[in-house]
Every structure is written in structure tokens, then in C-alpha cells.
Amino acid sequence: MELLEAREKRDAFEQDLLEKNGQVLLSLRGNYPGENKDAPSVSYVVETLRKEVLKTFRVAEEYAEQSKEGLLYFFLLQEEGGEAKRKAVLLEETHPLGRLADLDVRDRGRIYSRRDLGCPERSCYLCKEKAVYCVRSMKHTMEEVILYFEKQVKEYQLLECENTPQRQ
């Protein structure tokens, strides 16, 4: 119930931002199963992708929130909604941690979807079926999905360490 209340609070916050500012809003959160969205790996994914958002989008304002949904970022953008969604999908699909997060784009009138761009729905982490099918049918255990998420984060962190110049 707390997670549902947090989602409703987030939606109201997003609506309020849009009413006051009238710009395009990008929200960023971890795509982690279950109730414990505060796992350190989730915050790591969100913080890593926040840096990419700041490099990729024309951000006018940024807000952060910690809730039952985990670490959330909201960015008011200075760009058109369709173009922002295209960039968001590209980031989700090309960054090594992109699949582990949700980058949602909306403005006052609509929420932009992958379908708007002619893109397929997101696939499952484990079997490549449509993610929504696997979630609804509970095809995989939560433990399997969490293990995948954690493994992806650890592999990325190892690559980051290997690519970081060593001080002499």
C-alpha cells in the first residue's frame, strides 16, 4: 500500500510541476522489482543515469526525491516531448544500465510512449518476451530478476573500475 501511495504522490508532484512550468518533464527511477526500492544498486543506477541525462538533454530545472519508490529525479526540459522521448528510449536501449531504469516523458497533455515512436515494448530482462507479459504472469521469480539486476550493476561497476585511470 505504501508503494501505491508513493506512486500517487509522485504523479501529483509531476502534475504540479507541469501546471506551474508548462514544460516537458522527464522522470527517472530504477526499474527494480518488489517493495525494497532503496537497494544501493538501485540508487547507483539512478545516479549513473542522472549524469547521462544531464549530458543528453537540455535541462532547465532538476528535482530529486527519496520515497518508497527509491531515488527519483525529475527534470524539466527545454525540448519537444517527442524528441525527448526518442532520446530517453535511446538512453534506455544503449547505456549498459539503461534497461535497469525507467525514463518517462510527459507534458501537460500526454505521456509519451515507445509506441508513439514506433518502438517495441520493453523486453524482459531474462527471456526477451514483452516485460509486461512476464510481470503480469509472474513468469520469473522476484529473486531471479533481482539477481539479474544486481549482476548487471556489478559488471558495470567492474568495467568502470577497469576504465578509471590509476593514480601513480
Q: Is the pLDDT of residue 18 over 90?
A: no
Q: Is the pLDDT of residue 163 over 90?
A: no
- Of 59, 54, 125, 61, the C-alpha closest to 91 is 54
Q: Is 19 helix (H, G, I), strand (E, B) or coil?
A: helix
CB 53 within 8 A of CB 103: yes
pLDDT band with cut points at 50, 70 and 90 for residue 57: very high
Q: How far apart are CA 53 and CA 29, in angstroms?
A: 12
Q: Is the pLDDT of residue 156 over 90?
A: yes
Place of cell 512476464: 134
CB 72 within 8 A of CB 29: yes
Q: How confident is the model at residue 69, as a pLDDT?
A: 87
Q: How confident is the model at residue 89, as a pLDDT?
A: 96
pLDDT tens digits for 101-139? 999 999 988 999 998 888 888 899 899 899 999 989 999
DSSP class of residue 116 equals G
Q: Is the pLDDT of residue 168 over 60?
A: no
Q: How confident is the model at residue 68, as a pLDDT?
A: 87
- Of 93, 90, 47, 87, the C-alpha closest to 66 is 47
